[in-house]
Amino acid sequence: MKTKKILITALAALFSAAFMSGCKDDNVAKIGKCPTVISTNPANLAVNVPLTQIVSVTFNEAMDPATITPAAFTLLSPGSPGGRVDGSTRVEISGTLSYDAATFTMNFTPSTKLASGATYTGTVATSVKDVTGNALQVNYVWTFSTGALVSPTVVSTDPANNASGVLLNKVVTATFSVPMDPLTVTATTFTLKQGATVVTGVVSYTGLIASFTPSSPLASNTTYTATVTAGAKNVPGTPLANDYVWTFNTGTSPTVLSTDPLNNATGVALNKVVSATFSMPMDPLTITTTTFNLKQGVTVIPGAVSYTGSTGSFTPTSALIANTIYTATITTGAKNPAGLAIAANYVWTFTTAAGSVPTILSTDPLNLATGVALNKVISGVFSEAMDPLTITSANFTLMIGVTPVLGAVSYVGTTATFTPTSNLLSGSTYTATFTTGVKNVGGTPIASNYVWTFSTVAPLGPPVINLNSVARFGIIAGVGVSNNAGFSVINNLDVGIYPGVRSSVTGFPPATIVGGALYASDDVAPPGTAAMLLQAQNDLTAAYNTAAGATSPAPAVAPADLGGKTLAPGIYTSASTMLLQNGDLTLDAQGDANAVWIFQVGSAFTSVGSGPFPSASGGNVILAGGAQAKNVFWQVSSSATIGDFTHFQGNVLSLSSITMNSGAVADGRMLARNGSVIMTSTNIINKP
């Protein structure tokens, strides 16, 4: 409490003196306008101040630069006793003093780094004055402390201590705990030795990492010792406490573990890909036709070399010669990624199988054949008897695009056959293949895969109608979508309305959409919904017009009542209404899964049925002969009605509204251009 009393008394005296004397500005006395110190850097009582700190003092107003002299500022540090009136053991720090008129700041730059773990006292003397001659009223004094001395350390190395299998082209690194002085990280303070022998190399330093790059690859299976000496120092100049030493061992030379064919193998296939597997990963750039070759006597066999995993492969350009000895060689040019080569050339021999190479004489269908029947059995005739165990579904395949066709493979005489499990698809291109897995009775395979293609007959009926973007919808309407009663379900399709808005969609729930979503023209999320719906309606209009204008094959006049009829694929037209009432309508694809039906309805379409489901009185659409609902199109020029408890098939493209009566189920789509789609009670729409 005594210290506080003295301080208060001193401040009172200073205030009184300042008030009585005053400070002038433009030669006019203005009490209380004396210059003062408003901030310092470091601040009073600051700790852990950097040793390279520039000390600054900021005043409240512009100061006279002529008064910013060495006598105006002192910085004292701990030292030996000497001459100070307070009897302290402090030494004055030398440095350079400057003044920044723009910020009213005086800066003191010490001539040398500050001492670590020391307390410094800064004093601004009353000799400093502002530009009008007003002096600082009392010395300004503050203290701060620098950080304690902490030695840097090596926190990690690469390779780690006692590491083994190190690559021969390894760059050795050490990571420090703090930034180091790059001038102290040199070939003198960072060394690598093999025993007592110094390894030559280049030392570099970036960030916290020192790197030693050997001038040449390291020796294999050898122990090395790396050292960072205490001569390495951090930026303030503090060295490592002790030398840091670690060791590591380099890897061994690669070897050839196995070959295919084995050394001295016999009966080797004439289309054999020769391979060698190494004991470790290799540098792919060193596995080439120069380092991996195949010879027949002194004749070099042309071929291509590849490398995957740890295996190099030589693929001859053409089939090998029967009953002939071949010599394969891996040279010492083959190296691992560290640059270490195999110890010596690796050489092995093998003998090919005797006999001729089988070929395919003919196929059915022929290559590039068109108009192939959908029930076609695919076959190939060989030039000689084959091993039946090699004529399998793995070696005789049929594909449509990238999709395998299921079927059964058989072999009789010299003919292999592929019988598809179901009819082929019309209007499609198929690819048949015999692989090199097929072999003759002597074990010799065909020289290369035999591949041919053919196309099936065009689909029955008219070309399919492309729904484009509207195909995603099970329901789309112009003005309204409603579910009047019951738990209706739309499976794996979306529901949309355009230009109608979401408020025009009712009954959802209890109606649900499984595997799809509901979209309206006024939805703000997801972005672009309105544009998506507009495109769908445009695509619906285009599909509607295409169906209405279809003329090939020539349209047949539809009977007044489709009930009880069986119709082949084609176009069926009515200038007025079309009715499905007295019995069910059967659509027979005659084995063509791509067969298409288009019903052109000049006015309204109505299917009539009554419970229980399925409708006992008719009105159902039945698919036969492989027909698919997705290929049935009902183009209705006004409105369509799907009868009570009927099971309906196909895509309804209606100009006006569509109504599904109670219990009606549809495998297809209800697409209304201008009107509404109404589900009366517990209706189901499945994706066709």
pLDDT at 223 over 50: yes
Q: What is the pTM of this model?
A: 0.48
Query: Spelled out in words, what is the top-level CATH class assigned to the domain 256-352?
Result: mainly beta
Please list, in sequence order, all residues whose beta carbon lies within 8 angstroms of the beta carbon of residue 5, skipping any fewer than 6 positions away. none
Return the pLDDT at 79.
Answer: 59
Q: What DSSP state is assigned to residue 539?
A: H
Chain mean pLDDT for the chain: 90
Query: Out of 8-17, 145-154, 643-652, which region has the weakest mean confidence (pLDDT)?
Result: 8-17
Give the separation between CA 370 and CA 426, rounded to whole angstroms: 11
Beta bridge partner(s), residue 494: 473
Q: What DSSP state is assigned to residue 485?
A: S
Tell me if 154-250 shares its fold with 256-352.
yes
Please report the beta strands in 547-673, taking only residues with DSSP state E, as ranges in sequence order: 556-557, 566-567, 570-574, 578-580, 583-588, 597-601, 605-607, 618-624, 632-636, 640-642, 647-654, 658-660, 665-672
Q: Where are the domains of the chain?
A: 34-146, 154-250, 256-352, 360-456, 468-686
Average pLDDT over every residue of 593-618: 84
Q: Would you mind telling me the total number of residues written for the chain in this entry? A: 688
Element (H, E) at 15: helix 2-21
Q: pLDDT for 187-221, tens place per residue?
A: 999 999 999 999 999 999 999 999 999 999 888 88
Q: What DSSP state is assigned to residue 406?
A: P
Give the separation between CA 619 and CA 463, rounded to whole angstroms: 26
| Residue 245 backbone dihedrals phi, psi, to 5 degrees | -125, 135
Looking at domain 360-456, does it have CATH number 2.60.40.1220?
Answer: yes
Query: Out of 40-49, 360-369, 440-449, 536-545, which region has the weakest mean confidence (pLDDT)?
Result: 440-449
CATH number at 34-146: 2.60.40.1220
Return the pLDDT at 78.
Answer: 72
pLDDT at 392 over 60: yes
Give the separation between CA 431 and CA 434, rounded to whole angstroms: 10
Return the pLDDT at 611.
Answer: 64
Rounded to whole angstroms, what are the CA distances from 94 to 110, 112, 118, 447, 564?
Answer: 6, 8, 16, 92, 115
User: Which one, of 500, 667, 673, 671, lies nearest residue 683 by Cα?
Assistant: 667
Return the pLDDT at 147.
Answer: 77
CATH number at 154-250: 2.60.40.1220
Give the separation between CA 73 and CA 108, rounded to whole angstroms: 8
Q: How many CB atoms lie within 10 A of CB 404?
A: 11
Give the separation between CA 420 and CA 375, rounded to whole angstroms: 8
